Amino acid sequence: MFTSKKIIATGIVLLIAIGAIAYGLWLFIFQTTTTPVASFTYFPTNPVIYGTVIFDASACYDPDGHIANYTWNFGDGNVTVTDDSMVEHRYASIGDYTVTLNVTDNSNMQSSTAITLYSAAMVVVDDLGREVVIDKPPKRIVSMAPSVTEILFAVGVGDKVVGVTDACDYPPEASGIEKIRESYGDFNVEKIVELEPDLVVMDRYLDLYPPGFWLSKLEEIELKVVVLYAKNFEDVFHDIKLVGNATITQENATNLVTSLEQRVKTVTNKVKNLTEEEMPRLFATGYYDGESDPWTSGYGTFGDAIIKKAGGINIAGIKGGYFQMDLEAIIWANPEIVIVIEDYTWPTPTYDALLSDYRLSTIDAIKNGAVYKIDANLMSRPGPRLVDGLEETAEILHPERFP
DSSP letters along 159-201, please? GGEEEEETT--SSGGGGGSPEEE-TT--B-HHHHHHT--SEEE
Domain that holds residue 163: 123-261
The answer on 307 and 277 residing in a single domain is yes
The answer on 113 and 127 residing in a single domain is no
Q: Decide: pTM greater than 0.85.
A: no
The answer on 171 and 284 residing in a single domain is no
The answer on 336 and 299 residing in a single domain is yes
The answer on 128 and 116 residing in a single domain is no
pLDDT at 251 exceeding the cut of 60: yes
Compute the mean pLDDT over every residue in the chain, rounded to the nearest whole number.
88
User: How many domains are there within the chain?
Assistant: 3
The answer on 385 and 356 residing in a single domain is yes
The answer on 204 and 314 residing in a single domain is no
Q: Encode pLDDT of 366-394 as tens digits.
A: 999 999 999 999 999 999 999 999 999 99
| 403 assigned to some structural domain | no
Which of 104, 120, 136 is at the close of a domain?
120
- How far apart CA 68 and CA 114 sit, in angstroms, is 19
- How far apart CA 397 and CA 311 sit, in angstroms, is 7
Enter the DSSP assignment of 136: S
13-33: average pLDDT: 55
Q: Encode pLDDT of 257-285 as tens digits.
A: 999 999 999 999 999 999 999 999 999 99
The answer on 250 and 170 residing in a single domain is yes
CATH of the domain at 223: 3.40.50.1980
The answer on 307 and 340 residing in a single domain is yes
What is the model's pLDDT at position 238? 97
In sequence order, which residues have a C-beta less than 8 Å from that of residue 204 and are 6 or more positions away?
127, 128, 227, 228, 229
Cα dist from 220 to 122, 123, 150, 207, whole Å: 22, 20, 27, 15
The answer on 232 and 327 residing in a single domain is no
13-28: average pLDDT: 56
Say how many CA atoms lie within 13 Å of 269 toward its Cβ.
6
Which of 94, 120, 146 is at the close of a domain?
120
Tell me the pLDDT band of 297, cut-offs 50, 70 and 90: very high
Q: Which amino acid is at 169?
A: D
CA 150 to chain centre: 15
The answer on 229 and 318 residing in a single domain is no
Q: Where does residue 381 fall: left (phi above 0), alpha (psi -120 to 50 degrees), or beta otherwise?
A: beta
Q: Encode pLDDT of 303-323 as tens digits.
A: 999 999 999 999 999 999 999
Which of 120, 145, 169 is at the close of a domain?
120
Lowest-confidence region among 3-17, 115-129, 167-181: 3-17
| 19 assigned to some structural domain | no
